[in-house]
Structure 1
Amino acid sequence: MNTRDLAYYVQLVELGNFTRVADQFGVTQPTITLAIKRLEDEFGVTLIHRDQSHAALTVTAAGQQLYRHARTIGQELALAHTEIAHLKEEKIRFGLPPIIGNYYFPKIAGRLVAAGLTEHLLTQSGGSDTLLAMLQNGSIDIALLGSSGPLDVPGLAVTPLTDAPFSIVVPPKNLLANQAQVAVAALADQPFVVLNEGFVHDRALRWFTRTADIRPNIVYRSGDVGLVKQMIAQGVGIGFLTKMAVAPADDLVTLPISQAGQPRFVISVAHRADLVLSPMMQALKKILTTAQ
């Protein structure tokens, strides 16, 4: 079976027009017609009902079944091309969220240099949700990811490393700074400075505010953790960050949150479960999982 025939077929089902598919692949319309005929002969069924002008298409039940499998095959082939290309380049596409990078990277930088891995790392920064999607589609090979609780994603091999609580973050002069802990329900009128969507913090904050039955007054969002902390320090608003995101040099106060059953910020190392790790990737994973 020609995998190109499957690619033609997937596009025909999605576009519903022989001419458009031919134009997309830069081939003639009879090429698409012959490809569909080969697939119908292969499976011994009619895949598509079409009128003489090919203006209207109806996909049969068998055709729908083949479409689902053909899409998966196409995605897996594309992923295989990407992974093999990465191996040939002797590069590791490494996902590293900024908060985790600031907390974790100083612990492993020396070992990465000693292992000769730094020159092979192509680091991609971003929120954990964004990096997770990139990991799944093959844009990156391995990543440190944050999650609001244990990370359990089908198709991924995940090794949890450490965890920390989420906190309300305020400057020392804020009236909340001297409290032993804070209830989110009491913060309905407070302005918040928070991280963008695509960060685990956004999803965790929604859990806290939904559970407390408040709508947070978010006055500013940013994907730059350093900027968020600076704006908190300047009194623009209070923050919501994992405790490990705040260093002593930030001169900020982290306040425990009193809600019961709350999620924690979990750091894990993850890669696709079916990815064959190169020796370099194995070395990187070993360093990441033994950094405690």
Structure 2
Amino acid sequence: MRTKDLEYFVSLTQLKSFSKVSEKFHVSQPTISAALKRLEKEFNSHLIVRDNPHLALKLTDAGKKLLVHGQNILSDYHLAQLEIAHGIENNLVIGMPPLIEITYLPQVAQQLPIEMFQQIRHISQGSLATLKDLKRGELDVALLGYLDKFDDPTIKMVTFDQQPFSIIVPKTNPLAKKSGIYFKDVQTQNFISLKNSFVQKQAFKYLSQLNHIRPKVIFETSEVQSVVNMVANDMGIALLTDSITIHDPKLVKIPVLDTNSPLFKVGLAYRKTTIFSESQQKLLDAILDAFQNNTKKWTQN
């Protein structure tokens, strides 16, 4: 069986048109038809209903089964291509959110030999986008933030830190005098927030729902430093994790006192099916050791 035939078939079920599939892959329509016939011959079954050509494309029972398994086959094939390519290059492609990069990576990098550190190719984006790319094989490893519990049967997660959330306010805000704050008390405040792909936004939504309030978000960004700078300029307040060190004297960090406030957990994740090359495994082990060596320090901070 040709994997390209499966690609054509899966795209045909999505686009519902032979002409659109041929345009997508820059091939002729007869090429798509021939691929479908090869699959039908191989599985000894019709895959699409041909009784009424004027109706939208419809799959037979056999076609529905092949679609499910075909998508899995193509996904595994794509993962194999990427894993082999990364292994040949002796690189470890690591994704991480900017917050984790700023907070944790420098201390870990100090403990790695320079030749090992040079093997790392890092991609910076939000935790949700990072997890998505990890599952698709675009990343070998991910440093992820998550709330309370990570539950994905395809991913191995090694947790090395957890931090509570705090409210960051400018010193000019009346809230700055408080030693702690309940989230319901910020319902009239304007918020500067990280975007939906970040775990902090999940925590914001969770605390809002928990307290039955709808605080106003006036600006969203993908940059943690932008959040801090805008709060320092008295444009609003922010919900961030305690792991962020605030150096600006114009800002105050106030612990969130809600009993059910989520914890921001950080861990190193990789697909359970991944087979690392020898050099990749050595680098991964060194990174894990470095993170675990710093766990006590981060927890105490």
TM-score where L is the length of structure 2: 0.88
- The count of aligned residue pairs is 290
Question: In the alignment, what sits opposite 1:122?
Answer: 121
Q: Report the aligned-residue RMSD.
A: 2.1
Tell whether the 8 Å contact from 1:51 to 1:57 is kept in structure 2 after alignment.
Answer: no
Counterpart code for 1:250? D
Question: In the alignment, what sits opposite 2:140?
Answer: 141
Cα distance change on mapping 1:73 and 1:237 into 2, 3 Å: same
1:43-91 per-residue CA deviation (whole Å, 9 max, x = no partner) reads: 2222122259788643111111111111121122122212212222222
| Partner-residue secondary structure (3-state), 1:50 | coil
Cα distance change on mapping 1:9 and 1:110 into 2, 3 Å: same
| Partner-residue secondary structure (3-state), 1:62 | helix
Cα distance in 1 between the residues matched to 2:20 and 2:220: 42
Counterpart code for 1:76? D
Cα distance change on mapping 1:129 and 1:40 into 2, 3 Å: same
Cα distance change on mapping 1:31 and 1:223 into 2, 3 Å: closer
Cα distance in 1 between the residues matched to 2:203 and 2:96: 19
Gaps of 5+ in 1: none
| Partner-residue secondary structure (3-state), 1:161 | strand
Residues 1-292 of structure 1 mapped to structure 2, 5 A cutoff: 1-50=1-50, 57-112=57-112, 114=113, 116-247=115-246, 249-251=247-249, 252-290=251-289, 291=291, 292=294
| Partner-residue secondary structure (3-state), 1:270 | strand
1:239-285 per-residue CA deviation (whole Å, 9 max, x = no partner) reads: 110011133x2333221212122210000101111111223432333
Cα distance in 1 between the residues matched to 2:181 and 2:231: 17
Tell whether the 8 Å contact from 2:48 to 2:57 is kept in structure 1 after alignment.
Answer: yes
Q: Which moved more, 1:159-168 or 1:170-179?
A: 170-179
Cα distance change on mapping 1:244 and 1:47 into 2, 3 Å: same
TM-score where L is the length of structure 1: 0.91
Shift of residue 33 of structure 1? 2.8
Gaps of 5+ in 2: 295-301
